[in-house]
Structure 1
Amino acid sequence: MDRSETELMLKGYGLTTAEIFYRMPDFQRVLNSYVWQDYDLAPDHKRLFEFIEFWQREIEGPLHSVRFTHRKLIGPGEWRNMVGEFTLH
């Protein structure tokens, strides 16, 4: 079941961004990078680790390193539903 980004953020999810460094099978001296983003829960980062496991299982480019950051964009106390709008001038 897909949930909206707002629903995920209100449930505690934050935006996780990972920069994945890997080597091409034919060019081992060349280091490439791939940027991955998804909403994930800290400190477990289940979706990030699932992606890394998928990479190791399905993609031929061996991983060199992974650097990531996690940021909660909003929390339940920072959001409120507005019913109306008042405009002046």
Structure 2
Amino acid sequence: MPARNSSTSDFALQLAGYGLTTATILYRMPDHRHLLQTFIWQHYDLAPHFPELRHFLAFWQRKLEGPLHSVTVAHACLLKPAEIRTIDDAFTFH
């Protein structure tokens, strides 16, 4: 992923092919392994290999005590053409 700085916008990431990725991470509580906890991770990432998410999950497994149970991923490529229609001479976006 390009280095994020003040000149790197979310729009620039989308132009580079990144899409908004949300991961729902279920993990076991360190002291009560029979209990599951949810963590939501959201970042711009590249589908279908998700290098940013893989990097985060590798960090999790190395540094955090709660073992991963499952990860569900949703990805949206937000940059796409808009469909414009006129209704009674007014523009509407769909």
Q: Specify if TM > 0.5.
A: yes
Partner residue of 1:85? none
Q: Point out where structure 1 has 5 or more consecutive residues left out of the alignment.
A: 80-89
- RMSD value over aligned CA atoms? 1.3
Q: Point out where structure 2 has 5 or more consecutive residues left out of the alignment.
A: 83-94
Instruction: Specify the code of the residue in structure 2 equivalent to 1:4.
Output: S
List, as ranges, runs of 4+ consecutive aligned residues in structure 1 with deviation greater than 4 Å: none
Structure 1 residue 12 displacement after superposition: 1.1
- Given candidates 47, 55, 62, the residue that maps to 1:57 is 62
- Given candidates 7, 15, 21, the residue that maps to 1:10 is 15
| TM-score normalised by L of structure 1 | 0.81
Answer with 54-63 or 2-11: which moved more.
2-11
Percent of aligned pairs sharing the same letter = 51
Aligned residue pairs, count = 77
Partner residue of 2:53? 48
Rounded to whole Å, the distance in 2 between the matches of 1:39 and 1:26 is 32
Quick check: which one's strand share is greater?
2
Quick check: which one's helix share is greater?
1
